[in-house]
Structure 1
Amino acid sequence: MSALCLQSSVHADSGDVLPLMLRPAAFLSASAPLVIASFLPHTNVKYALLWQFFLQSYQTRFTLANRNSSAEKSKKLSSRQLLLSAGTVCYATCAGSLPQIMIYKLGVSSEVIKAVLRTMLPIPLSAAVAFISVYTVRSEESQTGIKVFDSNGNLVGLSKAAGQKAVKETALSRAALFGTTAAVPSLLITLLWRTRVIQKSSVLIAPLRYMSVAMGFGLIIPISFSLFPQLGTIKKENVEKNLQEAACDGLLYYHRGL
């Protein structure tokens, strides 16, 4: 157990100790309150933007801290990474608040349209925002490449193809996490709405929504993190030609990141 805790506290590439709140083990406790607050039906666009800003800022910082940094010569973030991160936070904040912005800025009065914007739109929107955010923040790995190793653990070189695969897998896992989290409360409320208890006590809908978001998020995190293995593999024919000869068993290995 202590070995597992130590591994989750240390970055796989640099060996540096990760900040407490940016460790995989702290992801649930740090993100859950922000996720719940961001899914609230806010009465003001400002509050929706504020909570989305907090959530997207943490997600971006977590992605940066747990990226594959094996090809980076300096431990400091480059100016390009900082600009991409800042732009990602701004974009994701606005995109994540889109349902609330549409309701209040466009003056939507139809309850049916409001329900669609608050329950249905966040599902694909949350997944898309999460995917694009990870893909943008870690785009440098796709362009510079990441270190790949043979089956004996020997360094083979830098591979852009492996970098692209690592980023794509992480982006897909994060999209699955937030898309599913957005879907759980909508599906649960739809199923429970037919019961007599909910029909008689509609005040229960709000606490049930918050509880379902928290439970769904907590249950999906381990599935999302393990959707693709941390020790990723890439086939010999999919890497650069100068690296193919080193793939004795037909595979090369890399650290995917989170």
Structure 2
Amino acid sequence: MAAVPLFSGANLGGSFWQRFVLWADALDPLLLLAPADEIRRTRLLLQNSGKTLSEPIQDDQMRKAFLLSLSSVHPDTDKIIPVLFRPPAFLPICLPLVIVSSLKLRAKATFFSQFVFHSYTTGFNLINGNGTTKAEEYSIQEKQIFYSLGAISYAACVGALPLVFMNRYTLKGPLTELVVRKLLPAPLLGLTSAFTVAVVRSPEFEHGIEVMDRNGKVVGVSRKAGEKAVKETALSRGVLFGTTFFLPNVLTHFAQRAKLAKTPHTLAVMRMLFIMSVLAGMLPASLSMFPQRGEIKREDLEPEILSSTEETVLFYNRGI
């Protein structure tokens, strides 16, 4: 478990808006430049201060330390997250992948772009999931890697399937183009993004995750808490990418009708700007949809946990 009780006290940032503002600051790409020694000093500073999220952080130095820790360190294992898979790296890496995936490519190119996109997001899901899953007789990591490869391949195939179907049966026309090129990509990407989260993090609801009381003391391992954590994260990821694909198409359509773009090149640039703006706004919003420090009622837990505590509400790390 983490040496610093980042998830003690109130939910991460309190209300949705407070969490949104906190994540907006924690997603600053400049935080990726911090060296490992500085991150370790930050953890030590937080540990010595005894600060928790139930207390407002007034000191500017403490706030910067907390943001660096939130963006760089896994709360369960207390290990520094690899740079490419830290939350601040998600937007810079995903943006070009989303833009390429949204282009009118052929089936093979669409499959490749979707494969690369889901490979990165699956790696992000794997590294930033709950780190307290326990199991015997085999390696959780090996199982997750095997599941990840299957989920990535399946998601990429689903993304390219409409184009394959359209080309195979020569179903070309304005209506088919509208459905396959503009209407289907958003829900498909949202569903496949949620699917990869559920598959990669399936050991969390198969074997359970640690649940704690409000003081951070572990009282048991719960499959129901793991299921709740994975469902919430999968939903937030589906909303993130579904909206990022859908809303720019709508905005581009109205910009085209209003004749704001005089040339196809200008329209393409506007569409990229729309994608960048929506993704930049939706990323902290999706991370803020559910509290990072998840809550689960005592009566919703397994009988063996009920008998070991009198707490009415228990807590767990939801992961991101």
Cα-to-partner distance string for 1:77-120 (whole Å, 9 max, x where unaligned): 53321210110110011112233333333323202211221111
Query: Pairwise mapping of residues 77-156 of structure 1 onto structure 2 (< 5 A)?
Result: 77-156=140-219
Q: Does 1:5 align with 2:68?
A: yes
Query: Pairwise mapping of residues 223-242 of structure 1 onto structure 2 (< 5 A)?
Result: 223-242=285-304
SS of 2:250 mapped into structure 1: helix
Is the alpha carbon distance of 1:108 and 1:205 closer, same or farther for their aligned partners in structure 2, counting shifts above 3 Å? farther
Instruction: Give TM-score, length-normalised by structure 2.
Output: 0.75
Opposite residue 263 of structure 2, the aligned amino acid is S
Task: Please identify, of 166-175 and 97-106, the stretch whose mean Cα deviation from structure 2 is larger.
Answer: 97-106
Is the alpha carbon distance of 1:79 and 1:196 closer, same or farther for their aligned partners in structure 2, counting shifts above 3 Å? closer
The CA distance in 1 between the partners of 2:73 and 2:130, in whole Å, is: 13
The CA distance in 2 between the partners of 1:196 and 1:206, in whole Å, is: 13
Is the alpha carbon distance of 1:139 and 1:73 closer, same or farther for their aligned partners in structure 2, counting shifts above 3 Å? closer
Opposite residue 181 of structure 1, the aligned amino acid is T
Q: Does 1:251 align with 2:305?
A: no
Quote the offset at 1:249 in angstroms. Answer: 4.6
The 8 Å contact of residues 130 and 209 in structure 2, kept in 1 or not, is answered as yes
The 8 Å contact of residues 159 and 188 in structure 2, kept in 1 or not, is answered as yes
Q: Does 1:196 align with 2:259?
A: yes
Of residues 25, 38, 45, the one that matches 2:88 is: 25
Quote the offset at 1:247 in angstroms. Answer: 5.2
Aligned-residue identity in percent: 37
Of residues 99, 119, 124, the one that matches 1:62 is: 124
The CA distance in 2 between the partners of 1:9 and 1:203, in whole Å, is: 39
Q: In the alignment, which residue of structure 1 is the partner of 2:246?
A: 183
Q: In the alignment, which residue of structure 1 is the partner of 2:233?
A: 170
Opposite residue 89 of structure 2, the aligned amino acid is A
The CA distance in 2 between the partners of 1:213 and 1:116, in whole Å, is: 20
Opposite residue 259 of structure 2, the aligned amino acid is R
The CA distance in 2 between the partners of 1:73 and 1:156, in whole Å, is: 17
Quote the offset at 1:186 in angstroms. Answer: 1.7
Q: In the alignment, which residue of structure 2 is the partner of 1:46?
A: 108
Q: In the alignment, which residue of structure 2 is the partner of 1:217?
A: 279
SS of 2:215 mapped into structure 1: coil
The 8 Å contact of residues 190 and 238 in structure 2, kept in 1 or not, is answered as yes
The 8 Å contact of residues 41 and 100 in structure 1, kept in 2 or not, is answered as no
Opposite residue 209 of structure 1, the aligned amino acid is R
Opposite residue 77 of structure 2, the aligned amino acid is S
Query: Structure 2, unaligned stretches of length 5 or more?
Result: 1-63
The 8 Å contact of residues 211 and 220 in structure 2, kept in 1 or not, is answered as yes
SS of 2:290 mapped into structure 1: coil
Is the alpha carbon distance of 1:33 and 1:196 closer, same or farther for their aligned partners in structure 2, counting shifts above 3 Å? closer
The CA distance in 1 between the partners of 2:264 and 2:100, in whole Å, is: 20
Query: Structure 1, unaligned stretches of length 5 or more?
Result: none
The CA distance in 1 between the partners of 2:78 and 2:305, in whole Å, is: 25
Instruction: Give TM-score, length-normalised by structure 1.
Output: 0.92
Quote the offset at 1:225 in angstroms. Answer: 0.7
Opposite residue 28 of structure 1, the aligned amino acid is L
The CA distance in 1 between the partners of 2:221 and 2:183, in whole Å, is: 42
Q: How many residues align?
A: 255
The 8 Å contact of residues 213 and 219 in structure 2, kept in 1 or not, is answered as yes
Quote the offset at 1:204 in angstroms. Answer: 2.9
Is the alpha carbon distance of 1:196 and 1:33 closer, same or farther for their aligned partners in structure 2, counting shifts above 3 Å? closer
Cα-to-partner distance string for 1:117-172 (whole Å, 9 max, x where unaligned): 11111121111111111001100100100000011211101000000000000000
Opposite residue 118 of structure 1, the aligned amino acid is R
The 8 Å contact of residues 208 and 221 in structure 2, kept in 1 or not, is answered as yes
